[in-house]
Amino acid sequence: MQAERLQKILSRAGITSRRKAEKLILQGRVSVNGEIIRELGAKAVLGKDDICVNGKAIKAETEKVIVALFKPRSYVTTLDDPQGRPTVVDLLKGISERVYPVGRLDYDAEGLLLMTNDGELAHRLQHPRYKVPKTYLVKVRGHPPEEALAQLQQGINLEDGITAPAELHILEDDKKATWLTLTLREGRNHQVKRMCAAVGCPVLRLRRTQIGPIDLGNLQPGKSRRLKASEVRALRKAVGLDG
């Protein structure tokens, strides 16, 4: 078997995302054959070398699981919360495998959240290189002028650079607010809120409705379901993995 970087092994074994695996290594929480490893370039062979995280040996997951969850508002997108707030893990029912969130949804946001133990898939879904589209239903204050809508579509100059072009459609408006859909192909922190605020249209409500080929469908708030085999194939194809 060929040696692989430790962060990739941890990701493929379903321990955590590749980015978080790098942090575990730098913190000295990963060992190989009894030796603490702190170098990101270190390699090992899963199944041959004794690899431990926090002193616990790891093994590859035999089954990859992908769960679609309708995250309600007032839940945090983490495995645990120091402040004691409810987490998305509290909502999972009937899922025995250890899965973790793919990306984030703000505490006051709701909608589609994917959770999985497939580290490579999770990594690609979040990496801007693969440009996986994510669609949001957004309620903004007031009535955005044409110039503001054009800016959102063409790209907004935020503190971390100009955003990529976005797809935008107005659904309805009333006297005080406007509902629209916004589709992005990158995943910066609080991106939708920052983009809308930058053009003078603060977000009042935010719901993610679709990630790549997967949408909320009839899923109700707080409920989850395993993806069908056909959905898994479509999702893997969207990020350049085998179907």
Token pair in block for residue 30: 């990963």
Contact 40, 28 (CB under 8 A): no
Nearest-angstrom CA–CA distance, 198 and 228: 39
Nearest-angstrom CA–CA distance, 75 and 41: 36
Angle between helices 18-26 and 119-126 (to 10 degrees): 110
Contact 242, 236 (CB under 8 A): yes
Which of 49, 81, 106, 215 does the annotation list as catalytic? 106
106: annotated active-site residue: yes
Q: Where are the beta strands (DSSP E) in the chain?
A: 4-5, 30-32, 35-37, 43-44, 51-53, 56-57, 66-71, 100-101, 110-116, 134-141, 157-158, 161-162, 167-173, 177-184, 203-211, 214-215, 224-226
Q: In this structure, how many other beta carbons lie within 10 angstroms of the beta carbon of residue 226?
A: 15
CB neighbour list of residue 163: distance below 8 Å, 6 or more residues apart: 155, 156, 184, 186, 188, 191, 195
List active site positions.
Answer: 106
